[in-house]
Copies of this chain bind each other. A is one copy, B any other.
Amino acid sequence: MTLSDDRRAAWLDGMAQHVLTHGLTHASLRPLAQAVGTSDRMLIYHFGSKEGVVGALLHHLAGGFVAGLEAALPPGRAVSVPLCLAEVVALLRDPGMAGYGRVWLDILSAAAGGSAAHREAGQEIMAGFAGWLEGRLPEGTDEPAAVAATLLTLIEGVIVMDSVGQSALADRAVAVVGMRLS
């Protein structure tokens, strides 16, 4: 290990904070370095390349996202599927989690553009989200995997609708699915 672990973690925390507020698409080395009090020279030295920086950062963000989910909603199961859905949608719309929504869309765009690193990070984030969501489903839910897949897909749609200012349509969809799924 060339870079002490706590320093590396501090750098990743700072860069993640910068990316959560300024976006990932146009994040370049010099601003990232400045956000953590170092230089682009150092980032390249310790991570090898920008690809190395972004890869580590994406992995860090994936962990931070799931940690944010677990920190925001007290551990335990929801009392019903519609309530679970409503809780999660409200949580993702919370200002404290809104930065992840933006970065999430940046990751999707880059993944669709062919970046393997972003595609893998997307899968990692999705897997963490799916696991957490399945753990929040009410006890005794029929076919929990199918229900989780449905909620997951719908929630992704809500994020998209929100990003173009169509939250009203998303709310309507959440209401309809919640009713039909209870």
Contact = CB atoms under 8 A, between A and B. Distances in A.
A69 interface: no
A52 to B, nearest CB: 20
B149 A172 contact: yes
> Chain A binding site: helix, strand, loop or mixed by DSSP?
helix
Task: Give the interface size bracket for A toward B.
Answer: 35 or more
Determine how many copies of this chain the complex contains.
2
A117 B63 CA distance: 33
A149 B123 CA distance: 27
Nearest to A102: B112
Contacts of A146: 172, 175-176
Interface of A: 23, 25-26, 101-102, 105-106, 108-113, 119, 122-123, 126, 130, 145-147, 149-150, 152-161, 163-166, 169-170, 172-177, 180-181
13 contacts: A101-B112, A105-B109, A106-B112, A146-B175, A149-B176, A152-B173, A153-B154, A153-B157, A153-B158, A153-B169, A156-B157, A156-B160, A180-B181
